[in-house]
Chain A
């Protein structure tokens, strides 16, 4: 079974609204979580790295005020797309790692469509 769970799997929203995506590590404590975005036929692009209890580190070109990341606990990180626009429509994937093994686990992804 999945060790990292994302919710929702699919979301359709109107332009201008905000959407929250949750990423949970189910049976381990995730010291670090990563958020990726993937447009059709393109590679996964790292958006940000979040460590529990601290501010996320955003990659160049990613607006931190638009993509709010909260990693309040060792098992939950959230990504909020604020004031979503059609160009934000994409596949958002989280991944989590634990310092115990260093292995990286991916969530199932969340497909966002902004109308």
Chain B
């Protein structure tokens, strides 16, 4: 089983739609969780950290369910510029080592 699993997509949605991605992780001792965004042929960029209480940043909401070992990302009112690959990232231990999911591709169309 992969340490971090994501649905690869692609998710094709119209502008303005709400879309949700899920990610599961295998190590129950994982310490911290993130969503990164990666544009084609570019490096990943931190989108947001994920906290147990859930957190929101504008149109983006991230949630963590430790009992079920999954993380979610909700994007509301999708924009064309949201088209990218979204990477679920887990820090399995208390060191700066990140495990990346393969990513979920989002394509927002007019």
Listed in ascending order, the chain A residues whose CB lies under 8 Å from chain B are: 32, 34, 36, 41-46, 49, 91, 93, 97, 102, 104, 106-109, 111
Contacts and interface: CB of A to CB of B under 8 A. Distances in A.
B102 to A, nearest CB: 4
A32 B43 contact: no
B51 interface: no
A44 B97 contact: no
Given A102-B96, A109-B43, 9 more contacts: A32-B96, A34-B97, A43-B87, A44-B44, A46-B97, A46-B99, A49-B97, A104-B96, A109-B42
B63 to A, nearest CB: 21
| Contact-residue size bin, chain B (C-beta under 8 Å from the other chain) | 10 to 19
Interface in B77-110: 87, 96-103
B5 to A, nearest CB: 10
B44 A43 contact: no
Interface in B3-46: 4, 8, 41-46
Interface in B51-88: 87
Nearest to B99: A46
User: Of A34, A43, A109, which is in contact with the most chain B CB atoms at under 10 Å from its CB?
Assistant: A43
A48 B97 CA distance: 10
A107 B97 CA distance: 16
